[in-house]
Structure 1
Amino acid sequence: MTQLSPNILLRCTILDSHGSIKTISGLFRKSDLCSRHGLEPRDLRKIDSRVPNLVPTILARRSGILINVLHIRAMVKSDAVLLFDSYGAADSRVHSAFVQNLEHNLCLNTSSLPYEFRALESILASVLEALRSELGWLRLVVDDLLEALEDDIDREKLRMLLQISKKLNGFLSRSRGIKLAVTEVVESDEDMALMYLTDAKLGNPRDEQSNLEELELLLESFEKQVEEVLAEIEQIYANVNNTQEIVELILDSNRNRLLALDLRTSIVTLGVSTSTLFVGLFGMNLTSHLEEDPYAFYILSGIAYVMAIAVVVAGLRRLSKLRRIGLSSSASFDNKPDEHHISHARAWWWRENQFRVIRRERNSAMKYTHPSPYPYPEHNPNATPLDPAELNTEPKREKKGK
């Protein structure tokens, strides 16, 4: 049998209308669950843990509300709650706390909310608590790691930074998926009307034009709290990204320093190699007529030292000049601007001034002849538009003394 077979067994815990556990980890066939609760086999795919489903969903059906968010896979009815795979999950502590909280809220019955909304509120509260718990752990780990990176940067810390970045990205995706699932329900009046299961059971079903404020406030409150978690995790994620960029800049700077040191060493080696040219020449068994000169050794040694120093100084200056050009060549102020760009800029500026002068003259003429409610001629629908040819003619200049 495949995972999509209707006869496959699902394990679930059932809570009755009084909040008491009626069945613990019972095994039920898909076909029995569908016939008993008025569901389709495709609806159970969202709450079957053996079917990969990473997108949080909240589905409204006439017979119940299907919820698949984080560690909770449940079906809420007007008088019962079915928790699928509530026991034996990856984190049994979270599930145990959730079941106890759900029992407590359903047994008290102190709220004016109907049964399904009290169960839904408990489920959303458990989801929010799980988000905040994971957020607190991530915040603590990130703060310790960033503080450690300020003192020293090593391979192990960079590997931990990469892992934390992946965890933050996954947590951010899950939080956004939860917010999106709640937002889709809030924006759909039809889905919210279907969630009033108690009213539908009593023969007063809600429709899209009914008052849905009670459920809307519940979902909007949860949505705002998830937004707060999202804002905080986005801030932490931004801090991690900024730290990664700064670490990359520091590593690049150290790499450049090592390259500069290697180049300086190569330049000094070149200077020393140049000075050994005389050693190689006079080391040959050839007669140079300088063997008996008492000053030849000192003169040639001085020339070799001078050549070595000259080569080293010239190479270091050239290296320093190249490094300065590499940093400022993209924004050099000594380069003259392109004459082609200057001509275009001047032409645009001249046409802009012409347009302003023509508009000022027309405004003054219309002001003294017949006042108009339009502040600018181009805003007046009855005004004649400017001729493009006028922009290419020089404006008239008044003579002095007039």
Structure 2
Amino acid sequence: MADLKERLLPPRPASSINLPGRPSPSVNLREQSSRPSGSGRPLFQGMDFLGLKKRGQGLRSWIRVDTSGNSQIIEVDKFTMMRRCDLPARDLRLLDPLFVYPSTILGREKAIVVNLEQIRCIITADEVLLLNSLDKYVLQYVVELQRRLTTPAVGEVWQSDGSNMNRSRGSRSFDNVFGDTSPDYLPFEFRALEVALEAACTFLDAQAAELEIEAYPLLDELTSKISTLNLERVRRLKSRLVALTRRVQKVRDEIEQLMDDDGDMAEMYLTEKKRRMESSFYGDQSLMGYSSTGGALSVSAPVSPVSSPPDGRKLEKNLSITRSRHESMRSSESTNENIEELEMLLEAYFVVIDSTLNKLTSLKEYIDDTEDFINIQLDNVRNQLIQFELLLTTATFVVAIFGVVAGVFGMNFPIPLFDVPSAFKWVLVITGIVGVIIFCSFLLFFKYRRLMPL
């Protein structure tokens, strides 16, 4: 990995080297931008036009991996890349690390644009182009792709080891049994796409597993001890879970959308389309040679613009129409047959990403259950506080009766009861009995109304 990282590092440009006796270009630009204008304000204050120009039209470092597994660093600007891969500018914008776009897989005429988490690349029939980065997932993608491209296929190992063995047993040959199902027989673009899908699914599943390891002990601790610190940690955990679930859901929806659209899957067969274009090109050249050599029309004979086309031109036209119909029928049949390869490839990783999504969904349900349990506990504590407050209010009302009796007997008027020595004790006894009766009456009323479990 270290050797690959050193090999993939872009060379230092010559413009960044400061020659003796020559000022640095950045110093000149800084002096020009800080030079005050006629109004006293510095020119281009707050605007980095040079940075915007470099970002839009400057050279970018790309990692190129060909079909043989060889990798190299190339410096290509945006417009050259657009012409090279026949892509519009909006597709290249998906690969720009300065912008944040959801996961996308686009099939174009000559390329497949892949934006899956850290893997942002352009896959053609002959090469894979990645933005040069020192991210470990990008380097792992390059290493894994090179390993798979340099590993011999199953058919090659069979031919090298057992060339004298009888390969046909029964009615089905070895190629029919293993050749169509082995991933080594997939086209180059699908093998590169498979490595990108595997890297994205592995990255998301690793994050989901890490979140699970952190979540379950924290939630168990929260159920045993409800505190502000634990609640804040669960809140941050839930926000991370929602963000990760959204990313996993986007990858899953993108794969499902591709599997549901046969046209998009057929558009991604770049090697097949390239082979058809080459066969069509060579077929046109053969027809042109036939019409120029074997046709009955002379090259030097004049052609009238109003006359009917000669026999040679009619024959060429009929042959081209017949060939185009035959090619279209054959391509439609082969597309319907071979589209199952890509569908099976996408379905395999759809199952993987769906398993990750189910894992995150289960974790979210566990968090929701924990929140419901905590809310139930808080409601129980709140109910206990309300019951205690109700009992305290009732007891306060009973005690207030003594204050009423004391206030009545404390008035400044003479009565005969004041002359009886045992009158004070009888007043206390009668007042206490009345208070107890009133308190018990309140308790029976609370039990009858089911306001308090007694």
**TM-score range relative to shorter protein:** 0.7 to 0.9
Counterpart position of 1:318? 445
SS of 1:180's equivalent?
helix
- The aligned residue for residue 48 of structure 1 is 96
* Superposed displacement of residue 109, structure 1: 4.9
* Residues 115 and 198, structure 1, Cα contact 8 Å, conserved in 2: yes
Residues 293 and 249 from structure 1, CA distance in 2 versus in 1: closer, same or farther, beyond 3 angstroms?
same
Q: How big is the alpha-carbon RMSD for the aligned residues of Structure 1 and Structure 2?
A: 2.5
Name the residue aligned to 1:150.
223
Q: Which residue in the other structure is 1:19 paired with? A: 69
1:73 equivalent in alignment to 2:120: yes
TM-score normalised over the length of structure 2: 0.65
Of residues 115-124 and 210-219 in structure 1, the stretch that sits farther from structure 2 once superposed is: 210-219
Q: Please tell me whether residue 108 in structure 1 is matched to residue 156 in structure 2.
A: no
Distance apart, 1:3 and its partner CA: 9.5
Q: Is the 8 A contact 2:119 2:137 kept in 1?
A: no
State the Cα distance separating 1:78 from its structure 2 match: 1.5
What is residue 185 of structure 1 aligned with on the other side?
A: 258
Aligned partners of 1:85 and 1:180: how far apart in 2?
A: 28
- What SS does the corresponding residue of 2:417 show, helix, strand or coil? coil
Please report how far the alpha carbon of residue 10 of structure 1 lies from its aligned counterpart in structure 2 after TM superposition. 4.7
TM-score (norm 1): 0.73
Structure 1 range deviating more: 112-121 or 261-270: 112-121
Partner in structure 2 of residue 308 of structure 1: 435
User: Which residue number in structure 1 is paired with residue 346 of structure 2?
Assistant: 219
- Inter-partner Cα distance in structure 2 for 1:118 and 1:150: 47
* Residue 313 of structure 1, CA deviation: 1.9
* 8 Å contact kept, 1:3–1:50: no
Unaligned runs of 5+ in 1: 328-402
Deviation readout 1:155-185 (Å, 9 max, x if unpaired): 2222222222222222222222111111111
Find the aligned partners of 1:313 and 1:31 in 2 and give their Cα distance.
90
Match of 1:333 in 2: none
SS of residue matched to 1:212: helix
Q: Distance in 2 between matches of 1:222 and 1:57?
A: 15
Mapped partners of 2:430, 2:350: distance in 1: 82
Instruction: Call closer, same or farther: CA 1:317–1:71 in 2, change over 3 Å.
Output: farther
How far the C-alpha of 1:267 sits from its partner, in A, is: 1.0
The counterpart of 1:243, out of the listed 367, 370, 379, is 370
Q: Which AA in structure 2 matches 1:101?
A: E
Q: Is the 8 A contact 1:3 1:51 kept in 2?
A: no
CA contact (8 A) 1:7 1:30 kept: yes
User: Structure 1 residues 286 and 101, CA, compared in 2 at 3 Å: closer, same or farther?
Assistant: farther
Deviates more, 1:278-287 or 1:31-40: 278-287
Q: What are the within-5 Å matches in structure 2 for residues 2-401 of structure 1?
A: 7=57, 10-23=60-73, 28-53=76-101, 55-84=102-131, 86-87=133-134, 92-110=135-153, 111-203=184-276, 207=332, 208-324=335-451
> C-alpha deviations, 1:52-87, integer Å up to 9, x for none?
32x321100121110112222111111211123633
Structure 1 residue 204: Cα displacement: 6.4
Give me the whole-angstrom Cα distance separating, in 1, the residues matched to 2:235 and 2:399. Answer: 46
Whichever residue aligns with residue 107 of structure 2, its letter is A
Q: Structure 1 residues 304, 175: closer, same or farther in 2, change over 3 A? A: same
User: Counterpart of 1:295 in structure 2: which amino acid?
Assistant: S
| Pairwise CA distance, 1:194 | 2.1
Query: Using a 3 Å threshold, how does the CA distance of structure 1 residues 102 and 288 change in structure 2: closer, same or farther?
Result: farther
Say whether the 8 Å CA contact 1:60–1:195 is kept in structure 2: yes
Which whole-Å deviations, capped at 9, do the CAs of 1:106-158 have from their partners, x for residues lacking one?
Answer: 33253222221111111111111112101111111221122212322222222
Contact map agreement 1:67 1:75 (CA 8 A) in 2: yes
User: Cα offset for 1:218?
Assistant: 0.8
The size of the alignment, in residue pairs, is: 319
Q: Is the 8 A contact 2:223 2:374 kept in 1?
A: no
Cα distance, 1:9 vs structure 2? 5.4
* Secondary structure, aligned partner of 1:83: strand
d(CA) in 1 for partners of 2:274 and 2:374?
Answer: 61
C-alpha separation between the residues in 1 aligned to 2:394 and 2:451?
Answer: 18
Q: Is the 8 A contact 1:16 1:81 kept in 2?
A: yes
SS of 1:312's equivalent in the other structure is helix
**Aligned-pair distance for 1:270?**
1.0
- What SS class does the counterpart of residue 22 from structure 1 fall into? strand
- Answer with 286-295 or 241-250: which moved more: 286-295
| Residues 197-206 or 27-36, more deviating | 197-206
Larger CA deviation: 115-124 vs 42-51 = 42-51
Q: Separation in 2 of the partners of 1:4 and 1:212? A: 41
Q: Distance in 2 between matches of 1:170 and 1:284?
A: 74
Aligned residue for 1:300, secondary structure, equals: helix
Contact 1:72 1:86 in 2 (8 A): no
Three-state SS of the structure 2 residue aligned to 1:47 is: coil
Which sections of structure 2, spanning at least 5 residues, go unmatched?
A: 1-48, 154-183, 279-330
CA distance in 2, matches of 1:3, 1:235: 48
Q: Which digits, 9 at most, give the CA deviation of each residue in 1:199-235, with x for residues without a partner?
A: 2223369555452122121111111121222222212
- Read off the aligned partner of 2:364 and give its amino acid letter: Y
Q: What SS class does the counterpart of residue 290 from structure 1 fall into?
A: helix
Partner Cα distance (1:283, 1:4) in 2: 96
